Structure 1
Amino acid sequence: MGKLEFMLIDSHAHLDFYDDPTEILVRAEAAGVAQMLAIGIGDGPATMHRALDLARQHGHVFASAGIHPQEAHQATPEALEKLRALVADPKCIAVGEIGLDYYHLENPDIEVQQQAFVAQLAIAAEAGKPILIHCRTSDLATAEAKARFGPADAFADIMRLIAEHWTPAGIPGVMHCFSGSPEQAKQALAANFYLSFAGNVTYPKSLNIREAAAQAPADRYLVETDCPFLAPIPFRGKQNEPAYVTHTAEVVAELRGVGAALVAEQTTANFHTLFPSTARS
């Protein structure tokens, strides 16, 4: 894969999940990935600083920090204070990924997840920084997980909590790895969120995601890898990395009926609008 004639931004990359991201970053630059947002959830609150550590070492890398819903039971007062301190750093441009996850049987109780989510919304609003939303329902979960979480809908719960605790702040956010329906996409857009599309938009059976990508307003969508997860075709099943965001962008371009260069231009402009401090003069 040669270097593209245009530049892209990977808006969601778990760079600290690699033993050594050095070669990953080199390949990303060679592929035309100019900037990336390193997601600071770590293995839980104790290590959520690792993404910011990386961002401080690389000028083109920015960071977020947050407590993932799977670790919501660790959202102690001490952990939330650590998050507040991380978010105060200029290179930490967002809070996340945060949200709700009713997919895994072993996840914290719904009430615990929601309390952690609301607490982090308050920290983001206080800092004036956008949020990165993680949302997984129990639709495709195991029978055991469905039995545990019942009819609860993570997306509906997220939208309700956002309306109550986030919308009044007037700050935008990102629906990371958007995997919902076109109707849910409209709801997210109406709530001042950007839609970020990951490698699963390249999977032919992801009809809802592909339709949402095709219909997203030109000024409200992003592309991401969610690496090392969700590698796009032709790398599906392998470890993902930021260089592969080019494949996701190309598929999004096909779905939208435009050239990949335009998708790169639009998503780069959208990222810089959402995170003004990342724009280069």
Structure 2
Amino acid sequence: MLIDSHVNLHAAQFDEDREAVIDRARAAGVGMMVEISDSLSTFEATHALAVAHPDIWCSVGAHPHEARHHLDMTAADLIERAGRPRVVGIGECGLDFHYDLSPRDQQEAVFRTHVAAARRTGLPLVVHTREADDRMAAILREEQGEGPFKFLMHCYTSGAELAEQATKMGAWFSISGIATFKAAEDVRAVIRAMPADRIIVETDCPYLAPVPHRGRRNEPAYVGHVLQALADIRGWSLEAAEARTTDAFFALFDRIPRPVG
């Protein structure tokens, strides 16, 4: 089964042809998608997509860019929404020190709120991290010390040291179209060292379209290119890569029933 573990189908880039995009994904063999929440203000749209489609599930959370708008958000707010049908993750949340669209202290505070919700619900935490390796590692260590929680390092392009520390804490990792970019050898080097049983794939559509679609709007239908890149990087057959990533996906998102047969 092809699974796209991170889609943003609620994004405005899909307003003209959202259902056609979903149909193309199915035609390309994508059997499941996780629609990711980036703000509580768009959560209703995110959740509606999951409710309307049997092959789409969703998360609830606020991207670090949006942290400044979620300072009053509590873990209870996230937990309440996480109790709805078809909500299977907390996030996307984390730290983004590249754009700094929210102050760093606010990003950290809102990230810890998400961690608390993940710990209390048992749902996996979808973590965004960019140019924040040291602080991300420190927060994950501190929060793991308060109590365990499952987490996914989404679209991982950060350094090898953070990847190693996250691996020791039990992290899963998701690979995006960046792995196909010619200049991304440093990313591929980190992928080669990731735990083989905790890697999944994503498009992060409409962003980061893989080669040969780079520069265009990304779609879930393109996730097969990411899977092929992962297979090539790890020296796996395509069939083995599909089986491994499928197993890892259902181990992480364990609220989603695994199809039989």
Letter in 2 for 1:29: R
Structure 2 unpaired stretches of 5+: none
- Secondary structure at 2:186's aligned position in 1? helix
Partner Cα separation in structure 1 for residue 31 and residue 145 of structure 2: 31
1:1-281 equivalences under 5 Å are 7-17=1-11, 18-19=14-15, 20-41=17-38, 44-77=39-72, 81-105=76-100, 107-137=101-131, 154-166=132-144, 168-278=146-256, 279-281=258-260
Equivalent residues, number = 256
Q: Is the 2:75–2:116 Cα contact (8 Å) retained in structure 1?
A: no
Q: Which residue identity lines up with residue 8 of structure 1 in the other structure?
A: L
| Residues 177, 196 of structure 1: 8 Å contact kept | yes
Change (3 A) 1:79 1:45: farther
2:118 touches 2:150 (CA, 8 Å); kept in 1? Answer: no
> 1:118 and 1:199 mapped to 2: Cα distance?
28
Q: CA RMSD of the aligned region, Å?
A: 1.6
Deviation at 1:39, TM superposition (A): 0.3
Q: Deviations over 1:132-187 (max 9, x none)?
A: 111111xxxxxxxxxxxxxxxx1211121111124543222110000023332211
Q: CA deviation at 1:194?
A: 0.6
The answer to whether the 8 Å contact 1:125/1:166 transfers is no
Matched-pair contact (CA < 8 Å) for 1:125–1:169: yes
Aligned counterparts of 1:181 and 1:78: Cα–Cα separation in 2 = 30
Question: Displacement, 1:102?
Answer: 0.8
Q: Distance in 2 between matches of 1:136 and 1:120?
A: 17
Counterpart code for 1:33: V
Deviation of the 1:218 alpha carbon? 1.8
Give a deviation string over 1:1-21, Cα, whole Å, max 9, x none.
xxxxxx211111111112142
Residue identity in the other structure for 1:257: G
Q: Normalising by structure 2, what TM-score?
A: 0.93
Secondary structure in structure 2 of the residue aligned to 1:180: coil
Residue 45 of structure 1 contacts residue 79 of structure 1 at CA under 8 Å; is this kept in 2? no
Residue type of the alignment partner of 1:244:
Y
Amino acid paired to 1:67: A
Q: Which runs of 5+ in 1 are unaligned?
A: 1-6, 138-153
User: 3-state DSSP class of the match of 1:64?
Assistant: strand
Per-residue CA shift, 1:29-65, capped at 9, x if unaligned? 1111110110011xx3211232111111111111011
User: Deviations along 1:88-113, whole A, 9 cap, x unmatched?
Assistant: 124111111100111115x1211111
Q: 1:72 deviation in Å? A: 0.6
